[in-house]
Structure 1
Amino acid sequence: MPKNTKSDPFFSFANLDNDEIQLATGALLIAQSEYPEINIEDYLRQLDEMADVVRERIQGATLPEQHISELNRYLFEEKSFTGNIDNYYALGNNFLNVVLKKKTGIPITLGVVYIEVGRRAGLPLVGVNFPSHFLVKYQREHLDILLDVFENGMFMDEDRLRAKLQANFGEDIPLERSMLAETTDKEILARILRNLTRAYTLLEQYDKALTTAERITWLLPEAAGDYRTLGYLYYKNHAYSESITAFETYLQLAGETPDTAAVEQNIQQLQKLLSRLN
């Protein structure tokens, strides 16, 4: 059933302005749903301590390549963070506390570690929602350096980006500039939550999937497609009125789409179901 939003600390967090959002705090709040015993401050302190080391090492270095090299050396060689190739789809890869403990994860959670350590050390790092593979960007005026933290901070030129698209989709998809745009921290957190929504749905843990789906709409209330998912998950949790509302919100935000008729039919069927129940 739908949660009382006021009782979920993520609700007030999600309603902060973008410039007030702390990426690591949000990722740990997400993890706290699965691991309620974790102390968020302990993990934030761990990120601070790693950043202290990096900050000291880049003192006096002026070139971006030097900054990136030191951060890569520290995280991937000394601290041994690595991509979880062998168990890529393990649920724990989506939780920052697990990634910090096991030092392995998927592109987006390794990206959160990389961004948060780098930012704390004073480096201009942002996320990039590249299709099917999260990237990190070192971004200064007139300078963008794209990095694949799943590959130990490898520099991503256009050839590597095209190869990544080919590997992910198995067809010749053109590389577009929009794929390389900076993403907000809210969008990064929403991408983690979408991963979890899919994972919980596949596990038929629909109550947990509903929680993650609701949180996406708190972060990004104008993202149409997430309301369609939310409508389905309300239905699976027998919250039929809320399901109708979510589907209606999807139609309002999305406008005319190829699935408009199907969603309208879902709404009609739910209305009939509610009338029988009442």
Structure 2
Amino acid sequence: MTRDEAESILTTAGEAGDADFPLLEAAIACAIHDYPFRDPEPVRTLARNACERLAERIGGEGPDDALAETMAADLRLNGDLLHYDHPSNTDIIDVAERRRGLPAALAVFYLHAAKAAGLQAAGVDFPGHFMVRVETSEGPVALDPFSQGRLVLPSELTRRALRAGLTPHVADRLDLLMAPVTDRQSLIRLQNVLFSRAIRAQDYDGAERSALRRALLDPGDHRPWLDVASAREKQGALAGAMEALSRARGLDGVEEARRSTTFERVRMRLN
């Protein structure tokens, strides 16, 4: 798969409704978009095995236990404690090979298998640490893909929220801490991680690619185009930055003044 082919897949995914969003294939396309011409079949094989094994466990265990045991025990998916910042931990193809990754990358397999098995599960965009919410007969519970899918108790969620800087009033609100996000937003969270890392490393080409993926995955959001423009400007690609700002200006949003100001600033440099 080429980078252009990956962009085509991401464009189609961005046009899909949330209920039909192709999480696994979109995640594969994101990985190929970063590093083209790789074989994505190991990802599909792992995902297929996860679906089959979870289907066997359903009924004999609670949905949260079945999901955690399938992913962590059967398939050995876990967080990479020793090399947390390694680039492979954010790449779904590398994650499938190493069985190690960041929570948002591991969650792709959790969410894909849960949906195939008919479980009600969703990502939780928790501050600093992505988790998976699973609906059970006793109410929703949070699983941590990075820690062998273990159950995260409400008291621990509150402690984590306080450490992340949330106010006590918010940290006590489980409805806020466990608010579900769509599969699209789950994958965008992973691209945000990649963007932040690339910016810190002054890898503006990588930052541009991750921002572009966000823009394609959520075509109604103007903010990724601002990040595309910023990354292109830092590379000296002013015409490309102008094009991205034009895309941002064409979308409704609360930052119209900022977009217009940035557009004029880059236009002045270009001229």
* TM band (smaller chain): 0.7 to 0.9
- 1:141-152 alignment, distance < 5 Å: 143-152=139-148
Q: 1:73 to 1:142 in 2, by over 3 A?
A: closer
Aligned match of 2:185: 187
Unaligned runs of 5+ in 1: none
Compute the displacement of 1:160 (Å): 1.0
Q: 1:30 to 1:166 in 2, by over 3 A?
A: same
Compute the displacement of 1:232 (Å): 0.7
Moved more, 152-161 or 264-273: 264-273
Q: Is the CA contact (8 Å cut-off) linking 2:42 and 2:97 kept in structure 1?
A: no
CA distance in 2, matches of 1:27, 1:20: 14
Q: Is the CA contact (8 Å cut-off) linking 2:125 and 2:180 kept in structure 1?
A: yes
Moved more, 100-109 or 157-166: 157-166
RMSD: 2.9
Moved more, 23-32 or 133-142: 133-142
Unaligned runs of 5+ in 2: none
Paired residues, number: 265
- 1:158-197 alignment, distance < 5 Å: 158-169=154-165, 172=168, 174-175=170-171, 176=173, 177-197=175-195
Q: Is the CA contact (8 Å cut-off) linking 2:77 and 2:99 kept in structure 1?
A: yes
- 1:72-83 alignment, distance < 5 Å: 72-83=68-79
Q: TM-score, normalised by structure 1?
A: 0.81
CA distance in 2, matches of 1:190, 1:148: 18
Q: TM-score, normalised by structure 2?
A: 0.83
CA distance in 1, matches of 2:199, 2:182: 26
The structure whose Rg is larger is: 1
Report SS of the residue matched to 1:136: strand
Deviations 1:79-99 (A, max 9, x none): 322211221111111111111
Moved more, 167-176 or 13-22: 167-176
- 1:119-268 alignment, distance < 5 Å: 119-139=115-135, 143-169=139-165, 172=168, 174-175=170-171, 176=173, 177-244=175-242, 246-247=244-245, 249=248, 253-255=253-255, 260=258, 266-268=262-264
Deviations 1:157-210 (A, max 9, x none): 321111112333387572243342221111111111111122223333322321
**Alignment of 1:89 onto 2:100:** no
Q: 1:270 to 1:111 in 2, by over 3 A?
A: same
Report SS of the residue matched to 1:89: coil
CA distance in 2, matches of 1:6, 1:147: 31
Aligned match of 1:18: 18
Instruction: Give 1:37's aligned amino acid.
Output: F
Q: Is the CA contact (8 Å cut-off) linking 1:25 and 1:40 kept in structure 2?
A: no
